[in-house]
Amino acid sequence: MGPLAVTQILALISLTVALDNGLLKTPPMGWMAWERFRCDIDCKDDPENCISEDLFRDTADRLAEDGWKELGYEYIIVDDCWMSMLRDEHGRLQPEPSRFPGGIAKLARYIHDRGLKLGIYADMGTHTCMGFPGTTLDKIEIDAQTFASWGVDYLKFDGCYSNPVEQILGYPRMSKALNATGRPMAYSCSLPVYVGGLPPNVNYSFLGDICHLWRNYYDIQDSWDSVQGIIEWFSNNQDDLQPAAGPGRWNDPDMLIIGNFGLSVDQARSQMALWAIMAAPLIMSNDLRNLDNSARAILQNKVAIAINQDPMGIQGRRLLQEKNRIEVYWRPLSHSASALVFLSRRTDMPYLYHTSLAKLKYDAGNYEAYDVFTGSTVTGLNATTQLTFSINPSGVVMWYIYPEKQSRQRETLHYQNKKASQLTSHKAKPGHLTVL
């Protein structure tokens, strides 16, 4: 379908579909089943890893008890393969009873009782990507009402087994149907990835009016090559993608795979750093019951989370691609602060990189920098100070940079949570970093 046809269809859709329920003013944080657990439905021989209510209850316990919730990780999102192969006698989706004997409403109550939120998966098409019942155009309203009745807080709406016309009609129709339920639900749309991810086939201004976030590109896999491919695509197309993001409307490069099998510690830090710079959703897909300490430290890094959750919501950009295969990324933050990431695409050995803030277009003045992953503070910087640091292969150095005058007002960085939000000039989400 060409861009003209898309435009004509959009012109027919009422502007009343705008999804403005006040949610996701900062990127969502939480956990999703798909990348780590896929469509394992063999609960007989693999009960610990199959898609079942036990997996989501276990994960809720971990989020609530192991320090994740306090940092902002609040959504537990069920992905594909939760459904029965048949709708019920009223035409409603229903969970597979052998794997979800208590039903989704009971699972939602369990998750809500722990101060968390439940997300669920559906597909704009005849079938889900794994062959379970899809949501065709005539089923959108009943599915939205079903999810609301269960207490669902977040919908991921995929697009397998549908065509572009159905997608361009179905995604806004689901937005309107979610609004009509009266229950605030975050809405994740997969439309862009099915039509190439870029204008003119994707109208990001319109998409931002009907969805809170959207998948732009292919699914992430458990490998550094996959992470690099996603970073490269987003960076190469940042002029189209970066302006689309902001409070309540986010580009989604897919899940954090930190803690699985495909990334080294340096590569895991790189994913966390770049997702923070890109203002991306921080949705983990891993086994929180069996997470090593290095992965936990990266995913629970308060400053990286604070950068990601900055309330201005401006997506960062790639500034430089050096011939030495070092790349520099930058994001503006609240309180005249900013974040820099120096990413090594090298595979040989640690590389000594030389630069200055002036080279990166910083204004004249005095600065301090906090190294996000080492915890050290660099003082006495001005724009012309020559900087030299070592970057590991496929690793990063990540700095939080702020004007020195702020340091004189407070000598240390302060990490704000809800209980201490009165110290800030705005109500900060857990994990927000404020320099006073």
Residue showing tokens 């309540």 = 248
The torsion of the CA quartet 169, 175, 178, 180, rounded to 10 degrees, works out to -80
Q: For residues 163 and 198, is the Cβ–Cβ distance under 8 A? A: no
Cis-peptide, bond into residue 200, ω within 30° of zero:
yes
Closest C-alpha to 98, from 38, 34, 52? 52
Q: What are the percentages of helix, strand and coil residues in the chain, rounded to 5?
A: 35, 20, 45
Cα–Cα distance for residue pair 144/203, rounded to 1 Å: 24
66 among known catalytic residues: no
Q: Could you give phi then psi for residue 195, rounded to 5 degrees?
A: -125, 25
Cα–Cα distance for residue pair 207/196, rounded to 1 Å: 14
Q: For residues 387 and 354, is the Cβ–Cβ distance under 8 A? A: yes
Q: Which residues contact 228 (CB under 8 A, 6 or more apart)?
A: 345
Cα–Cα distance for residue pair 352/345, rounded to 1 Å: 13
The CA distances from residue 88 to 91, 97, 117, 141, 419, in Å, are 5, 12, 25, 15, 45
Cα–Cα distance for residue pair 300/320, rounded to 1 Å: 28
219 among known catalytic residues: yes
The torsion of the CA quartet 400, 226, 159, 191, rounded to 10 degrees, works out to 40
Q: Residue 12, exposed/middle/buried by CB under 10 A (0-12, 13-18, 19+)?
A: exposed
Residue showing tokens 């806004």 = 172
Bridge partners (DSSP) listed for residue 402:
368
Cα–Cα distance for residue pair 338/119, rounded to 1 Å: 32
Cα–Cα distance for residue pair 11/5, rounded to 1 Å: 10
Q: Which of 46, 88, 219, 363 is catalytic?
A: 219
Q: Which of 80, 143, 153, 158 is catalytic?
A: 158
Considering just the CA atoms, what is the radius of gyration of the chain in Å? 22
Closest C-alpha to 286, from 256, 330, 331? 256
Q: Which residues contact 67 (CB under 8 A, 6 or more apart)?
A: 300
Q: Catalytic site residues?
A: 158, 219
